[in-house]
Amino acid sequence: MSLLSNQMSPARWAVLLAAVVGLELANRLTGAGTSLMLAEMLILAIFAASLNLLMSYGHMVSFGHAAFFGLGAYGFTLAVSRAGLPVELALLFGPLLAGFGGLVFGALCVRLTEIYFAMLTLACAQITYTVLFQWYDVTGGDTGITGFMPARFGLSEANFTTLVLVVLAVCLALMARLVASPLGLAIRAVGQDRWRAEALGLAPRRVQLVAFVISAAFAGVAGTLFAAFQGAAFPDYAGLGFTLEALIMVVLGGLHSFWGGVLGAVLFTQLRHWAPVLTGHWGLLLGIVLLIFVIALPHGVAALGARLGLGPKGDRA
């Protein structure tokens, strides 16, 4: 089942622990450049995991998930730069604004299904992007908001990366808890067959809305961290580019698996990091890798893990 349930086998605990220890060792033993790369990777892992929650369990495909990444970044940034709140308190406002955005947009989007749902999420995200881009007086427009705090809270590269690793672990633990909870089962039930779920007494739209808000809030956590990481917020954080990246990560990692988002984020950022060694044509490389994955490996890296006996056996959402 999930990370925290009693079906978590010792082998999987060992793999997980090794991954965390390995990441922290890589973070400490290599240079600041590696730490920065790892920090970005782990932040994107939170973002991709939040989308994976929505897609793999709720079966809702969002074309606008970056809206909540952007709202998270701006919620935090504006709380510091415009409202003058202390940074520690302002951190709360990222996920809060993202969750609120999820509530407003979600209430509209869950009225629709499948392709129309996706299209409305796209519209909502583009509206968010346009507001961030055009509302110069508040958001600074395309120049964004910069210089409101020292990047990474003034922490060293390695310490900030450790912080992100801890946040990622907490987020994943919360998600695993959610997936195994009665609410998580309801989300899965509605995702698999909304009519049957309704016949069983669930309110599909309400369950979907709750899932949407939770997913948005987690995306907001990622956005907040990213703004702190960069010491800046730009409208692009809410743009179509970030949405597509998150979708690609989920597909590369493996749809319908708890670890899909995280694994995909790792694969994607590593690919992007090392691509210049191979070729200057990142787009071409990514396109070809995507083609190979979709045609030959539709369940992503997670399925490879499952084949090796490490995967979440009962975890097919």
Partner 1 sequence: MIWVQLVNGLMEGMMLFLIASGLTLIFGVSRIVNFAHGSLYMLGAFLTYAFVPLIAPGTVAGFFAAVLAAGLVTAVIGTAFEVLALRRIYGRDSLMQLIITVALVFIIRDLVRWIWGPNSLMVPVPDALLGAWVVGETWFPLFPFVIFAAGLVVVVAMIGTIRFTRAGILLRAATDDRGMVALLGSNEKLIFTGVFAAGSFLAGIAGGMAAPYGDVNYLLDTTVIVSAFIVCVIGGMGNLYGALAGAMVVGLTKAVGVMYFPRLSMMLIFLIMAAVLVARSMGRQGGPAR
Alpha-carbon radius of gyration of the chain: 19
Min. distance of Cβ 289 from partner 1 in angstroms?
A: 8
Closer residue to partner 1, CB minimum distance, 95 or 261: 261
Give the torsion sign (CA, 27, 4, 212, 74).
negative
Closer residue to partner 1, CB minimum distance, 29 or 295: 295
Q: Does 282 bind partner 1 (CB under 8 A)?
A: yes
> Contact with partner 1 (CB under 8 A): which of 1, 15, 123, 202?
123
Q: Does 203 bind partner 1 (CB under 8 A)?
A: no
Identify residues 45-64 at the interface with partner 1 (CB under 8 A): 55, 61
The gap from C-alpha 274 to its chain's centroid, in whole angstroms, comes to 22
> Contact with partner 1 (CB under 8 A): which of 28, 30, 104, 111?
111
φ, ψ of residue 83 in degrees (nearest 5): -90, -15
The mark string for 127-156 relative to partner 1 (x by CB under 8 A, - otherwise) is x--xx--x----------------------
> Contact with partner 1 (CB under 8 A): which of 232, 247, 266, 301?
247
> Contact with partner 1 (CB under 8 A): which of 112, 170, 185, 278?
112
Q: Do 215 and 67 meet the contact criterion of CB atoms below 8 Å apart?
A: no
Q: Does 278 bind partner 1 (CB under 8 A)?
A: no
Q: What are the CA-CA distances from residue 58 to residues 28, 62, 241, 281 (Å)? A: 37, 11, 23, 35
Min. distance of Cβ 74 from partner 1 in angstroms?
A: 17
Number of residues that bind partner 1 (CB under 8 A): 38
Q: Does 169 bind partner 1 (CB under 8 A)?
A: no
Farthest-apart Cα atoms in the chain, separation: 57
The structure tokens listed for 26 are: 């890589």
The structure tokens listed for 54 are: 């929505």
Q: Does 248 bind partner 1 (CB under 8 A)?
A: yes
Closer residue to partner 1, CB minimum distance, 17 or 112: 112
Helix (H) or strand (E) holding 232: strand 232-233
Q: Does 126 bind partner 1 (CB under 8 A)?
A: yes
Which among 22-30, 42-50, 125-133, 170-178 is the span making contact with partner 1, rule CB under 8 A?
125-133
Residues in the chain: 317
35 contact partners, CB below 8 Å, separation of at least 6: 27, 157, 158, 160, 161
Which among 66-74, 167-175, 246-254, 304-312 is the span making contact with partner 1, rule CB under 8 A?
246-254
Q: Do 77 and 143 meet the contact criterion of CB atoms below 8 Å apart?
A: no
CB count in 10 Å sphere of residue 112: 13
Helix (H) or strand (E) holding 61: none
Give the torsion sign (CA, 207, 213, 219, 225).
negative
Q: Does 304 bind partner 1 (CB under 8 A)?
A: no
Question: 123 burial class (0-12, 13-18, 19+ CB within 10 angstroms)?
Answer: middle
Q: Does 159 bind partner 1 (CB under 8 A)?
A: no
> Contact with partner 1 (CB under 8 A): which of 287, 307, 309, 313?
287
- Residues in contact with partner 1 by CB under 8 A are 55, 61, 108, 111-116, 118-120, 122-124, 126-127, 130-131, 134, 240, 244, 247-248, 251, 255, 281-284, 286-288, 290-291, 294-295, 298
